[in-house]
Amino acid sequence: MLTGAAALALLPLAAAEAVESHPDLGKAEARCRPGETGPAFMVSIDGLKDRKGNLKLEVYPSNDEDFLQDDNILINAGKVFRRVEIPVPAGEAELCVRIPAPGAYSITVLHDRDSNRKFGLTVDGVGLSANPKLGLSKPKAAKTRVMAGAGLTRLHIIMNYRTGLFSFGPLRN
């Protein structure tokens, strides 16, 4: 057992090991392998506005404290965070993301149309697992919660874009 002075001496070392924020955080753990058997989500994405930019899928713990939390905060706390990012494909948009274990998760998909790596209210689209109706505030994690099994769990996410002054929703055909 460490004494108070010994524990204090280790604090600078612990702080130095903290993971710094970076656009690639969570990507290495998220990549599905060829023939992935899970646990993983296979997410098909519908309702894209166009085929510009990138799709960024992120997996979070499904609780209000951690849902949409900063990636480096989650990783430094030893919590689940996974990210997969691809250019928008010309055909079917499907992303596979590995998860650490079966259980409850919340997933976001960003259609980053201008490829600037952040959400632009007037430009980009967003989709959430369980496809809740969106407003201008962050939804509760329970509205986005999906359960992953031990194998490959298939999900379908519908993209939402700004459709009016204060509304978001799927595009109408």
Q: What is the mean pLDDT of each run of 10 residues along the chain (173 residues)?
A: 40 48 69 91 97 97 97 94 96 96 98 92 94 89 98 97 84 79
Q: Are 45 and 127 in contact (CB under 8 A)?
A: yes
| pLDDT score, position 53 | 97
| pLDDT score, position 4 | 44
**CB-neighbour burial class of residue 101 (10 A; exposed 0-12, middle 13-18, buried 19+):** exposed
- Domain spans of the chain? 22-163
| pLDDT score, position 144 | 98
| pLDDT score, position 25 | 63
CA 92 to chain centre: 19
- Start-to-end CA distance of the chain, whole Å, equals 65
| pLDDT score, position 16 | 42
